[in-house]
Structure 1
Amino acid sequence: MKWNHFKSKLLLKYTLSYIAIFLIPLVILTFFIYQNAVNTLRSEIEQSNVNQLTQAKTIIDNGIKGLQETASRISYDEQLTSYRTHHPYYSLEAIDALFQYKATSSIADELFLFFRGDDQIFSSRGQENLDVFTNHYRFQTWDAEDLIWDLNTVPIPQIRPAEQVDQGSRSYESMLAYLVPITPNSTTPYGTVMFLINESSLTNLIDSILSDYHGLTLIYDDNGQVLAANYHGETITPENVTALFTLQPGTHSLMLNHEQHSVVSVKSDNGWTYVTAMPSSQFFSRIVHIQTVFVLIFSMVVVIGTILAMILARRQYHPISDLLEFAKSSTSTEASPPGNELEWIKNTLREFSQRVDLQEPYARDHALLVMLKHGHTEELTREFKEKLGIRFHESHYFVICMSWENKDAYDAEHPDREPVLHLVSEISLPSYGAHAYGLELPQPNQLAMIVGFDITSDDTDTVNEHMESIVGALITLVADETDLTPAVGVGKVYDSSEQLNQSYIEASTAFEASILHGEGSVTFFNKLLSETSDSSFWVPKDVLLKLVQSLKQGSYDVAAQMISTALNNLKEEKPAVALLRCICFDILNTMLKTASELGIHHVIHQIPQVTSFETLEELERKLTSLAAQICEEVKDKSETEESSLMDQVVEYIDENYTDYDLSLGSISSKFSISSSYFSRYFKEKVGINFSQYIWQKRMDEVTRQLLHTEDPLKDIITRVGYLDTPNFIRKFKKETGVTPGQYRKLHSANAVSGDDEDEEDTDS
């Protein structure tokens, strides 16, 4: 049952508010707008005509300038040399080139290319004899001999006024001829390009820009000769033609043929003058017409404003109405609706909030992973982390990486998997003053734990001993609860949670050493340094190890910090220049070796650039730039691999969504990825979670089979991988509003009546 809009107090409140806010100020403004509009409209119309004529003038001037540029391009076009145009083979290309030049011109109706002294002329239509100007293009006053003489002798660009041109078959066009000698600006032109311009192309352009214009249009050259004109049926004396030419640019009122005319005149840079003249009665009739329309519009503003206010109020209420219907369809309560629609929405938001709580673990894991990789970030505010149940109030922090050699322990169906995930998600060790958060890493079969603890002593040995005790307690707890013995890597202790990314890099380094020793081994990063010989001279071993691991992880911040630390140590030691270069090569070799292991081989070409340095500051900039490039490629490679893997997963789901055993765990196991990481990344990739995607695929297949087959409903539901038929029917009806049998009857002409019987049986 839909909400009754006519009885909605909320809709009435919106309507009255819009009337008060919109209608009342509008009525007040109409009076002032009307007074101002009537006073300024006359001058605006005059100025508008000036602007429009100026616009037309600019377009025509640009068109003429474009013809000059076309002639210039023709003169330098290798296809249009005298040799190629007369050549039996290349002449076709030349004609085609002329056609292209003609096609690109906005005002030229035809163009001719003439080589002086020749008896042939070339156009877009082909090669022709000069008698074309007696047979096809015969001018009224410009005879063929004078035309050919002008083609051979014209020294500068010259335009002839429009005149009638006989094109044969009693076809007459009023055209202007524009002659441009080529090469332009040459004292000895070798040819002439002649453009034929239809007079109506120029005058119609002016008429189209001057809206509702019916009057005289004239274009003069710099000598006052009329090049083109459109009289629109009016007559004008030669004296008036001369008078119009002598007018100054602007608007004028002039008596023409015993009738008052409004005249607009503008001049162009090339000396041409553009003039339009229309009867003043026509010019100012628009003002009277607009005044009448304006009065009518303002007299109706109250009615229109009220209707508009109602429409806006309805539109404002429409989203609330939609939310209300959604709330009513989503809520599980059958109680009578409250008096205000917003109460329904509030109740629905409360239910949605509970659903969001179910997604909180995924958001929590993402936040922890961001802290491990990037340390402190602006997106992870303290309030946001506390809402996710993540609190860092301890004095010291470190990171543990752990995994099991027994891959079965990470099988989705293994009985020990769920307990260990649940166990490490959050652990409190009150006796040690420690609190830990665990999460699955994107790498298969690998976990990380962020451990924070409080200790009053600042002695390094005491802090490390306390850390080792905590690690031992955590390993024992995991082993006792799961019967699994992990390989563990432990990072150094820091006094700020913002340095967790460094501890994570160290833990990853220690973890790589730990897995080499097999299951059950524990490696501390600070002890790993003492167990290895220091072959790096004045560059500490821990710096090189963390540099290597940060490059592998794509953590630029840590890599840049390690490079800076290494070079700062060198600045303090001040070794000899030769030894300094050897030590710097040690850092560079470490980075290049790591890049090679990551499959990034092209950076080897940057050795000459990096090794050519004069100061340690310059070397630091170059090494930092190299580290940024390696980290960026590691991230890109990781994102590409993740995207490719998820494409494979989606393809696998699309092919096997009808499998009864298809589940989050089975897919995680098949593709060797952690289930929490898969669930989170799948939603980012597809836009909906895994279970919704499977349901939608099965739903689409059921509706398809309902429409295109006559199979019983039970068989269809079973084939798509859904075993609980009654539950499916209830979900189907909730989503579509009808049962599957009703859906088939509504959308298919070949419905099977037995489906309804099946549904009744399954519902019972």
Structure 2
Amino acid sequence: MSKEVPVRIFYRGSIDLPLNRQSISKGCWHYMKIKPILQKTYFRTFLLLTTVLICSIIPFVYLLSAEFAKYTMLEVRSNSQNEVNNLASKAEMILGNLKAYGLSMYADQNIQNWFFDASKDPLIDHAALVAQSNFMSTEPLIQRSYLINLKNDLIVDSKVGIVRTESFADQSMLERVKSFHRQYLRFFHHSLDGSDSLALILPATPEKPSDFYLVLLIDKPLLSKLLFGQTVSSEQDIRILDKDGFVLLGASNPALNEQLYQAGREQQNSHFQVRLPHQKWFVNTAKLTTENWSVYYSTEYHILTRHISLFQQKLITYTLLLLAILSSLFFWSSRRSLRSITFLSEKLRGKVAFANSTSDAKPDIQWIHDGIDMLLNNVEQLHASMRNQSELVRTEFLAQWMLHGTPGTKSYEYIQTRTKLASCEVLFLAVLRIEAYTVFCERYDFPSRKLMKYAIRNISEEVIGAGSYAAEGLDMGGDHIILVVGGPASGGLQLQRLLEETQNQVARILNVDTTTAVSNAYDFGANIRNIYDHIHELTKLRFLNGEKQIFLESDYEEFMAGYPSASEALETTEIIKSIRRGRPETAVVLLRQQMKHVHELPYRDCKLNLTYFTYDLLKNFNKSSVLHEISSIHQLLERYSTLSEFQAWLESIVTMLASETEVPKSSSRKEEIVLEIKEYVDNHLQDAQLSIEQVADNFSFSVSYIRQLFKEVMNVSLSEYILQERIERVKEKLISSQLSVLEIADQCGFISKGHFFSAFKKFTNLTPKQYREIHADSTGKNIAPPSLSWRSGS
């Protein structure tokens, strides 16, 4: 006897149930035995394939069965309709023959002699009887006939002979004959001595009463047999109803008659359905136009679907048999071809160190899947690193050249080997600045803006590179793209045309308005940093006249030729500082102080000073949405008739610019601004002159606001971020390059040797030489440098 263990189950009370410990252990043993089988790859594959097979075949079989049933029903309905149409045609033909036969009988000379005989000659009576008998013998459908002579009150009955009207057995027919009916050659129902038949009366003239009539009584059973045949089963019903719903031919079923008559009147279709208790009939109908009768061909519904159901049952049986055969084949094939996966997974578990290998109960395929995932991730990372390395190296060397003014040794080697610029006769530098940059930022998020600027760079290189020029684009962050163009010394005009084409293509493809400025031709050894700053400033000249053109250095010289002398020029520096600090009242006071000097000048000098003063004041805020409506300073000055009006407008603009600085940004917008700041900093790390003031000027914010915003979002000060990024770049170059420590420090923007060594020691507790020696052996293992603590969120 096995020992019983009481187990208490709580459900609104408690019940003690004795459970057999041996049965529990046996169930666990069976489960442990089945579980490894369920984890086998071939068994899981077999289950999956069988499930997919079932899920795919069952809907197909269902649709096939439904289509077969639909097609079969259409065929049955079509055949039934053809059958009822044939019955209607056959009935009209037989009834028409009977009418023609009756007219021939009525027109027989012997019968006509009897109608018009007034002498009551026995020979004439005999001849009429003989003629009537002859006609009756040749048409079996005529069950009985009457020759009625109302004038002489005599009737020749085919079964009785000549009788007086008062002795005539069918008095109801005699009354119908005496009452004049205008229906000509129409059959109707007639009953005599409990026997039903169809009757036809043939008058001599249809438009007025006559004294002479021929009545034909048609044998209904024989006519039904002739029309319907012997094939009508108990599940089928064929009947002919007159216009009042009376059964003329066929079985009499009052309930079905009523349903057929009502449905035939309500529906115009030639087929419909009627329901009786425990029965459902599908009905096809056709009209007998000559008699105004309707033929109804009714079939019980289960008769129509009996063969369909039988086919569906066979289809299901064969489908199940097919599924069983295919499942057996799947099991055999899966087991034969996938058993090796188990051995492979065991080898992987023994040789590959998985990150999450704590669960030994994973299926074989999961182990292989995890191993392949690790391999693919490593390959993908390697591919992405190799794909991006070229672009990163290109950007670094070009940015180093742009920010330092002259290319270093490594930068020159890269430019000489990877680009065509060094082989060109002269160099040109062009800047494409995006107009209405604040609207551009509101339309696109930060990743989209980078992609848009990347597209502008590609379009520019494609258009300019199609000529006899070599072009290299560079995104230094901010609102513009730099193009370094190499070409012939005499190609300035052609380059201007290509830059105009570039503007047009960017506007057409990207719907982005740009302003372009291009430098004169320079040698490769020129200080390109000074040229870049000058050309970038040149793009802002569009603010003067609003014209969309390619600005040249000569345009700037012309602009500066009319600039007031230092003693006469109005001071804008303090006003700009007040605006960036968010102090509108102070900015307005300073503006009014400067405007007092303008009131004392002649008109020409006043307009000139206002032009340059407004340009110097507002060009620093060209990214602000407040200035997007201003297209030209010259047009702006022409708009106001008095100096006071222009001063009032200028004060309102200054107030709005200062107030805009004070407006708190949403969290999402703050994060986007910080992303842009980080991008700008990353692109200018090689610039030894990079400072917080330079960053603030680029984004038209005050230094204090930039510091506060960056600290709020990144939890680190902007100056600390710049220093940390420079140290990170130094660490990368110490590991990945053979440059000297001082060359690396110079490329990463460190001005003094002492500042570089103290900063590096602060962050790593090592000297640069020690750091390089320690990480020299792990160069191929750790591709990415370690991140600083604030990057990981700690």
Q: With structure 2 as the length reference, what TM-score do the two structures score?
A: 0.27
**Larger Cα-atom Rg:** 2
Q: With structure 1 as the length reference, what TM-score do the two structures score?
A: 0.28
